A and B are shown apart, each in its own frame.
Chain A
Amino acid sequence: MTRNIFFYLILCFFFFIFSSFNSYSFDDLKLKKQNWTFTGLFGRYDTGSLKRGLQIYQEVCSACHGVKRLRFRELQAIGFTNEQIKEYASTFEILDGPNDKGEMYTRFGNPGDTFIMPFQNEQEARAAFGGAYPPDLSLITKARKNGPDYIYSLLTGYEDPPVNLNLSDGLYYNPYKEGKIIAMAPPLYDAAIQYIDQTNPSLHQLSYDIVNFLNWAAEPELEKRKSLGLKVLLFLIVLTSLLYVTMKEIWSRIEK
């Protein structure tokens, strides 16, 4: 009896969590759920997809967005060698300073630099985009409910606006965006870029790859976290079983 209630309460708790978090959505529009490789107990990143995602970021997203919390040296995790990282970083020009004459100067990037946005400040960005500000993408998949599926749905979800809706210049219709109106022009479309690894650049493939890359940028610790988690769980299950047997043994002394 007691155990049943115990179980029931914990079940209630979990049910509550998952039901309440689904209820934050604005309407009944279902996200386009994808099979991400990084979910679940054994989740891992798909390195090929991350590399393609980096290429998309570089050729498309980086025109407006930064990933300022990601350092070039972290590209090691997606298969870059130290030499490649140095070479890659040096293709960026970074504003630094002041030097000992008190002047700002530009230099080539090094592995410790980050993917900053292509604007000096928020004001410059807003001026360039008619008042809209392209957010930094470092945490974007964590900062939205069901982040990966949301970003995927948003990128593939652009539609023509309903006839009765007149959008001013620079605004687009996307049912997945809160308020359905978005200032970002559709960034991806079939064959938007040519992949280095010759993968077919369909809209699905491009969106899938960039979300993988962005999720990695948001949670670079994910693989380490999950593999450590499995070991910790295994240890705790064995330890708890042993403690249970020990408890039964000790309590048997008085239960006669």
Chain B
Amino acid sequence: MVKKFKNKTLAWLDYRLPVFSVLHEALVTHPTPRNLNYWWNFGSLAGITLLIMIVSGLVLSMHYVPHVDHAFDSVEHIMRDVNYGWLIRYIHSVGASMFFLIVYIHIARGLYYGSYKSPREVLWGLGIIIFMLMIATSFLGYTLPWGQMSFWGATVITNIFTAIPLIGDNIITWIWGGYSIDNPTLNRFYSLHFLIPFLIVGVVFFHIVALHKFGSNNPVGIDLTNKKEKIPFHPYYTIKDLFGFGIFFTIFSLFIFFAPNVLGHPDNYIPADPLVTPSHIVPEWYFLPFYAMLRAVPDKLLGVIVMLSSLFILFIIPWLDTCKIRSSKFRPFYKQFYWIFIFNFFILMWVGSKVPEGYFLIISRISTIYYFAHFLIVMPLLGKFEKTLPVPNNIFVISQKK
């Protein structure tokens, strides 16, 4: 279905380069389930946040100096001397937290409504790749201000590579570009921090292509066959997404203008000092659950394996979940386990901020085991034994009930 443009120039160009008709299909006519709730706003929110991060980051890169002697000062130069530099920097630093908040909710929505199930396994996998690239980008970005937490966070995380048997020490020297974290490390981290967001944009493109192949999943989780069940993307979802942007920008602004540092760590306003270790090294809040899993295991190599597995396991959940019904609405038992899983994730986040001793260590171990048990035991078994509720064959039955 190729759109015919009235404007002759546009029609001429589109005939040869069909980007306009593709965009028209994606943003205007794309048939979308009419029953999507507000949880489906978070995809477009993630997109706009990525854009905000790239634009604000580009401006920051024009003033930032990636050198161990100047990085911290150049960030303060941005904060004090560059016109509205404080605004651009706070947009970027708060934006990183907002991006993760949005993407966590986006993933949680996919888990609840079974958006990873056939035929959307690749769509889901691409999303997980985006999430992993985001983790890499934000870790690299956090080292750039070269404060105490930047330096020591980078030390802790790069030390993970020494867990690799036999060649670990050689690999870390290669990654650092020397025998300790120093100027070559900062330079390459800056260069990679600039590169990876554009890789994310590329994967987002594939994520959208895969999405448009079968269209969005929906709260009922059934394939929509009736034409009346779908509505054009524009104006219904363009306006709904814009409303979502409005709510998000309001929350975002509250942080930027009134609590810009509440999500960060005060130690990062102390210039990096390789001779002074902070009493308590913690990553940003969005890494805490994974940090908790890393430290829950007494062995270094096993800890790293557990942490990486906690991410990679997300790729295979379309096959671990044996239930054919997508939406948790019709899975009364899975729904309970889902909320326990979410609660457990918050517990991991909380213990991740604590020193792993005594009760905290025990809690982090139980929570880590539960995290994996949810995917490896609950998902495969519930699909076989759960008594599910009857699934309607169209979405109107549900909306009439309400």
The chain A residues found within 8 Å of chain B, CB to CB, are 2-3, 6, 9, 12-13, 16-17, 19-21, 23-24, 26, 41, 69, 138-139, 142-145, 147, 178, 218, 220-221, 225-226, 228-230, 232-233, 236-237, 239-240, 243-244, 246-247, 250-251, 254
Contacts and interface: CB of A to CB of B under 8 A. Distances in A.
19 contacts: A3-B38, A13-B101, A16-B285, A20-B285, A21-B262, A142-B266, A143-B266, A145-B266, A218-B269, A221-B79, A225-B87, A225-B257, A226-B257, A228-B87, A237-B250, A243-B242, A243-B243, A244-B246, A247-B239
Interface in B257-271: 257-258, 260-263, 266-267, 269-270
Contact of B258 (A2, A142, A220, A226): A226
Contacts of A246: 239, 243
Interface string B270-293: 100000000110100100000000
B253 interface: yes
B87 A16 contact: no
Nearest to B85: A221
A221 B280 CA distance: 30
Contacts of B282: 24
B38 A6 contact: yes
Given A147-B266, A221-B86, A2 B353 contact: no
B246 A240 contact: yes
Given A20-B285, A24-B280, A240-B250, A229 B34 contact: no
B353 A254 contact: no
Contact of A41 (B239, B258, B260): B258
A241 to B, nearest CB: 8
A235 to B, nearest CB: 9
For the complex of A and B, 5 pairs with smallest distance between CB atoms: A229-B257, A240-B246, A143-B269, A142-B269, A243-B243
A241 B285 CA distance: 31
B253 A236 contact: yes
A69 B250 contact: no
Contact of B105 (A9, A26, A240): A9
A2 B335 CA distance: 13
A218 B76 CA distance: 10
B179 interface: no
B253 A232 contact: yes
Contact of A233 (B34, B87, B250, B269): B250
Nearest to B263: A17
Contacts of B34: 254
B256 interface: yes
Interface residues of B, number: 44
Contacts of B269: 139, 142-143, 218
Contacts of B257: 225-226, 228-230, 232-233
A251 to B, nearest CB: 6
Is the contact region of chain A dominated by helix, strand, or loop, or is it mixed? helix
A144 to B, nearest CB: 6
Give the most central of B250, B260, B354: most A CB within 10 Å. B250
A174 B342 CA distance: 42
B236 interface: yes
Given A139-B269, A229-B253, A236-B250, A20 B350 contact: yes
Nearest to A242: B246
A250 B235 contact: yes
Contacts of A142: 261, 266, 269
Given A221-B86, A240-B250, A229 B261 contact: no
A94 B354 CA distance: 47
B254 interface: yes
Contact of A2 (B39, B86, B247, B263): B39
Given A225-B87, A247-B240, A254-B236, 6 more contacts: A16-B346, A24-B282, A143-B266, A228-B87, A233-B254, A236-B253
Nearest to A26: B279
B279 to A, nearest CB: 7
A236 B350 CA distance: 32
A224 B176 CA distance: 40
Contact of A229 (B105, B240, B258, B266): B258
B337 interface: no
Nearest to A18: B262
A216 B395 CA distance: 58
Contacts of B37: 2
B224 interface: no
B279 A178 contact: yes
Interface in B330-371: 346, 349-350, 353-354
Contacts of A220: 80
Contacts of A229: 253, 256-258
A251 B243 contact: no
B149 to A, nearest CB: 11
Contacts of B101: 13
B58 to A, nearest CB: 21
B87 A23 contact: no
A16 B250 CA distance: 20
A243 B246 CA distance: 8
A202 B154 CA distance: 45
A12 B105 CA distance: 13
Contacts of A243: 239, 242-243, 246
Contacts of B258: 41, 226, 229
Nearest to A239: B246
